[in-house]
Amino acid sequence: MIDPAPALFRPITLSGLKLANRIVIAPMCQYSARDGVAQPWHLQHLGSLAVGGAGLLMTEATAVEPEGRITLGCLGLYNDETEEALARTIAGIRSFSATPIGMQISHAGRKAASHVPWEGGGPLTAAEGAWQPSAPSPLANLDGWQTPEALDEAGLERIKAAFVATARRALRIGIDLLELHGAHGYLLHTFLSPLSNQRTDRYGGSRENRLRLPLEVFDAVRALWPADKPLGVRVSATDWLDGGLTIADTIAFGHELKARGVDYVCVSSGGIGRPRIPVGEGYQVPLARQFRAETGIATRAVGMIVDADHAERIVADGDADMVAFARAVIDNPRWPWHAAARLGAKLAYPPQYERGAPALWPGFGVAHG
């Protein structure tokens, strides 16, 4: 039987988790933690999005060790204090929303020890609290940035253990879905890209070697993370730079992930150096389309997707299985409600907000056209 609902509003099951629709609230760094500890801002930010009708709510990139934070304001899950704070945040959201909650876990690598964006985003100085970043090779993120320390074998083992420890804490606090951040110039991406990985050992050089650490991290987390809870990866499909990571590399990575039990991949791009990216509406969707077609992995598209009709076409045409939204839901936290009205889908509202639904508010058509 064909589901009559718009494609964007049809359920999807990832491993043992059923999402009510294909709309995902993407991870969005808030730079508002203190020593990695979640603050009231995180509850209001995530809580406001948790009642908007999306199928899945992702937390922001969450560091697996203090040195893995991008900034002093980045969220972490690496000790009891950070775990207790996030547990309270998740419990608070669960008290009023049944929306599944996913967590993206990350290590900033050579982009660590930076200023928050509204303070320029450049590297911190020692006086400002900078720490030593780490990376596959001693290559700075950009001119004027700190030269990172190349991880030795002990450092690589520490990183793998940190991802596993954070995954264990995420499991304890009841996270429904886990995502490894392998994109945007952060640590795992820098191992994948030949521009940032110039090692001569078994973790660098050939494509097989450059895939090694990200796959070892995935294997270690997969061994811990329950089979009935989805485990995904965010990738940068291309560096958009000559000599950098290509879609062919990412598809090869995808085949390896599929063999190891990945449940989905979120296809993004960029993050290494200063590429000239052809940013425009849905500019990364062709990458998601190609990745999905060649790997058969459930795929999430992201990047400059704003319009409900566009999002519907992405899913209906098979370009991706899910669509993630970030700035669009900062601008409009009720984006899923308005998309449902636009596409003729039914979407449940919290009872406190039902009076704002199209059927009960005569002004809805005036407000939204």
With CA atoms as reference, report the closest residue to 337 among 8, 72, 98, 43. 8
Q: From CA 147, how far away is CA 320, in angstroms rounded?
A: 38
Do 338 and 368 touch, CB atoms closer than 8 A?
yes
C-alpha closest to that of 83 among 149, 174, 22: 174
What does residue 71 show for φ and ψ, rounded to 5 degrees? Answer: -135, 170
Active site residue 264: no
Nearest to 75 by CA among 87, 59, 90, 88: 59
User: Which structure tokens are listed for 304?
Assistant: 């400059």
Q: Give every CB contact of residue 330 below 8 A, 6+ residues apart in sequence.
A: 28
Annotated catalytic residue, options 31, 78, 186, 349:
186
CA distances from 159 to 163, 281, 323 (A): 6, 36, 30
Burial of 224: CB neighbours in 10 Å, binned 0-12, 13-18, 19+: middle
CA dihedral 167, 170, 171, 174 (to 10 degrees): -160
Task: Give Cβ neighbours of residue 367 (< 8 Å, ≥ 6 apart).
Answer: none
Alpha-carbon 150 to chain mean position: 25
Catalytic residue annotation: 186
